[in-house]
């Protein structure tokens, strides 16, 4: 689990990159 803390700029960029990758995968492999 990630502890609640003040997010650094690098952390925000990593999280946004992670979610953008997940969104791209979901859109490419959409079962519907």
Give residue 18's pLDDT.
Answer: 92
> Concatenated DSSP letters for the chain?
-PPP-PPPHHHHHHHHHHHHHHHHHHHHT---
Please identify which residue in the block is written with the tokens 């609640």.
4
| pLDDT tens profile 1-32 | 555 577 788 888 999 999 999 888 888 776 66
State the pLDDT at residue 16: 92
- Give the pLDDT score at 10: 87
* Model confidence, pTM: 0.50
Domain count, the chain: 1
């Amino acid at each position: 689990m990630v502890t609640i803390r003040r997010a650094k700029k690098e952390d925000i960029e990593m999280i946004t990159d992670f979610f953008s990758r997940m969104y791209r995968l979901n859109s490419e492999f959409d079962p519907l």
